[in-house]
A and B are shown apart, each in its own frame.
Chain A
Amino acid sequence: MRKWIVPALCAGLLAAACSGGSSSSHTTGGQGTAAPPTTKVAKGACPVGAVVASAQKPVQITMWHSMTQANLQTLTKLTDQFNSTHSDIHVNLVNQTSYEDTLTKYKAVLAGGQRPDVVQIQDVDQQLVIDSRSTLPAQDCITGEHVDTSDFVPKALSYYTVQGTLSSIPFALSNPVLYYNKAAFTKAGLDPNTPPATLDELRADAQKIVQTGAAKFGLALKDDPWHLEEWSAMAGSLYANNGNGRTARATAVEFGGPVGQQVYAWLAGMARDKLAESTPFTGFDNLLAIGNNVAAMTIDTSAALGTIFAVLATGQYKNVTLGVAPLPGPVAAGPTIPAGSSLFVVAQTSPARQEAAFTFAEWLSEPPQQAVWAAGTGYMPVRTSAVSLPALQQAWTARPELRVAYDQLTRGANTVAAQGPVIGDMEGVRTAAENAETTLFHGADPVSTLKQLVSSANSVISDYNSRVG
């Protein structure tokens, strides 16, 4: 650990020293035609003009991503398009297979070795990567290259903005939605076109489904930390202090209040009355439960839609008529927290590579590319104007279910609660929350379980904070 903290700290100091001079870097970068590129442009500020000034062309950059299957195909297609339209830059994609492995490996290369230039990082690891001080804040180049951000989906921007600085370029956007089997709803005497909008309605519908025997359980529920996060946001309640960790580093969680208590009591009730079946956090047992008529509803990421359509298209689950609805919450139609991943530009490489990396990441977030990306993957576009482009229009007309998450995310006010928490060791907090939910489903008392979770989450946070300093 200590080995990479030293260079990382140096870069952090440099970034602080140079952040005021970002406007002058425009001329600095432009002049450095013949000089070695490493010394000319200050690290931390956006190296505007470095690609043009680069002696070696095309500038070779590497992107580490975690996409598989259809997502990988779409990303490869877009990258090929970028390479053929940008003669100055060549992007090589490296598949690190999962967000966890990508992060593990990224931490390892900070000690030395071939760093990527662009790295795709999962939403919750944002603060951790910021704290590594190994990346160039996207804000620097957004300002330096005069990128207009007004077209970005506001929540996508605000999620990746910490203490007023955009850390990275939003790329793959998703949201939890309610999946349900319309056939089971009909069988239970429920209207398949009015899915539940609140937790109370969700419980009532589940009761009816179980009573009529339309399915064994009303709901298949992952032991998912998401519930507490999203439902706090929907009820307008903060998850962590200091403005969800956005005005200053979060030092404690705040979900122990009335909303958290309501959520935990609800979860415990669903488990106790056998209305919900608990399934593991990882894997897709909850989706299989719908396919096999064990449950009629489940909550999962909208990013699973592409796969679900592919499975249904094989004709394996004839008993299922898929319904997709906005996530029910403590209140109906409350604002949700965006999820997904963003693209970080890695610092401490040559200025030309850094600028090339930003150029590529920013290009991927432009409306035409986002339309293709969203249509090919099931993610939501990060740009509002992408919605009206033909590529996405066609996909959404053919499959209106793909729109649900986008409409859900873009409705309502962009409150601090809805921006979601940024916590350095969010993974640690999530593990604690996941374990707490598992014990809930094993009959634990919701009040004391939530209390315990608050204290273990707080110790995870203070432990991390003391290490970062």
Chain B
Amino acid sequence: MKVIETIDLNIYYKEVHALKNVTMSMNKNSITALMGPSGCGKSTYLRTLNRMNDLIEGCKITGQVLIEGEDAYAKGVRVDELRKKVGMVFQKPNPFPMSIFENVAYGLRVNGIRDKKFINNQVEKALYQSALFDEVKDSLKKSAMDLSGGQQQRLCIARALVIEPSVVLMDEPTSALDPISSAKIEELMFSLKKNYTIVIVTHNIQQAARISDNTAFFYIGELIEYGSTKEIFTNPKHERTQNYITGRFG
């Protein structure tokens, strides 16, 4: 089942044509890796899916973005409702300067949930899902700022999961982390696949190969190639893709 679909998607930052006619779709409970050299448009694409690009002045978009079949950019769509369906994890771990518990509970509170018992349950579940619960269960009241970088990033994942989105976008989630923390996050993504559809932007080609079901290769705003990860890495159709994954340019 297609959870995400973009049709003839074009994005302009003022005069710059950042994304050109991108048509692609992602299936439910899959991990899709977006890779390509810096400035290729992969992050731009990701940020279109939860409309974070709205925050950038002079950003214009044409074409369609369908999330669970609904046009994300249609008139009358409430951005905050869309973002409840499409969660996001950022490149740099960015927990709020609050307690661990409050960080995770935040998504529930801003969406008007007051039921304490429900909040407790959801927070615990999200921390459990993000493989952080055992490490923090005795220090939920402590500041999230005291956690290590890797723990902070898993907390950010828990924070995104607590409102039960159907899609989780990850923008280079391990690029600021050490290898061990990165490995933990990758492991985590595997387990999250059961319940969520994951789209991850990565600079790390091996990471894309390791974790994703499908891989998209972007180059200067164009979607060069998109297919199953196995196919892309063993038998790329385009020379550029081949050059990129073999490290001839990047």
The judgment on whether A and B are partners is no
* A positions within 8 Å CB-CB of B: none
